[in-house]
Structure 1
Amino acid sequence: MPTIVKHLLIFGRVQGVYYRASMTEQAQALGVTGWVRNRLDGSVEALAEGTPQAVGQLVEWARQGPRQARVDRVDVSDGTDPRTAFSGFVQRPTA
C-alpha cells in the first residue's frame, strides 16, 4: 500500500492540554509514524507518515484533539518524501 507524509500545524488551545501525548497515542493506534512537538508560538507541529487512510484519520483526529483542547485551525500540507521511513511516532522538544 502506498505511503504518504503530511505536515500539520495545529492552532488554538493546544499546549498544556495533553495534545502531544494524545496525538502520539492516536498515531500509534493507527500505525502512523512521525513526530509531534510544541512550537514557541503556542501551536503544535506534526509530521505524519503512513497509509493515506491512516494519515487521513490522524488529520481528522487533529481537528478535534483531546477533550481539553480547543482546535481553531489545522493547516495540512504535503510533507517530505515518504522514503524517510520514520520508526515509531515520538514527541520532539519544543522548537
Structure 2
Amino acid sequence: MIRGGKINKYLIVSGRVQGVGFRYSAAQKAKELQLSGWVRNKIDGTVELEVEGDENKINHYIDEMNAGFNQFIQVKDIKEITYQEKGYNNFSIK
C-alpha cells in the first residue's frame, strides 16, 4: 500500500448508482476536495472511477461516497485498487 502524499485509486461502485446523479455528484465532490480523475457508468450497472490526489482527501471522498452523496444513491460495495499518481489535471465525467 502506498502511504502519504498523492495517490490514485481505481474504484468500482455497486448499488443504486446509475440514473440517480451519481456521476455528477462524484464529480462535484471531487472538485470540492481538489481531486482529479474521471467517472463513468459500466454496462453491468456499476460505476467505475479513478480518483487522484491527497490520500487523506481521497479517504474522506470514499467515506462521503459510502454515505451516498445524495438521498437517491445507495452504495452497496466499493472495490478499490491503489496506484501511484498518474497525473490527471481535472475530474471528468465520461
TM-score (norm 1): 0.89
User: Which residue of the other structure, out of 36, 40, 48, is the alignment partner of 2:39?
Assistant: 36
Q: Tell me, in whole angstroms, the C-alpha distance in 1 between the residues paired with 2:61 and 2:16.
A: 18
User: Which residue of the other structure, out of 55, 59, 64, is the alignment partner of 1:61?
Assistant: 64
Q: Is the 8 A contact 1:10 1:62 kept in 2?
A: no
Count how many residue pairs are aligned between Structure 1 and Structure 2: 90
User: Which residue of the other structure, out of 74, 86, 92, is the alignment partner of 1:70?
Assistant: 74
SS of residue paired to 1:22: helix
**Aligned residue number for residue 19 of structure 2:** 16
TM-score (norm 2): 0.90
* Identity score, percent: 30
SS of residue paired to 1:63: helix
| C-alpha deviation, 1:64, in angstroms | 2.1
Matched ranges for 1:74-93 at <5 A: 74-79=78-83, 81-82=84-85, 84-92=86-94
Q: Tell me, in whole angstroms, the C-alpha distance in 2 between the residues paired with 1:67 and 1:36.
A: 19
Query: Which ranges in structure 2 are unaligned for 5 or more consecutive residues?
Result: none
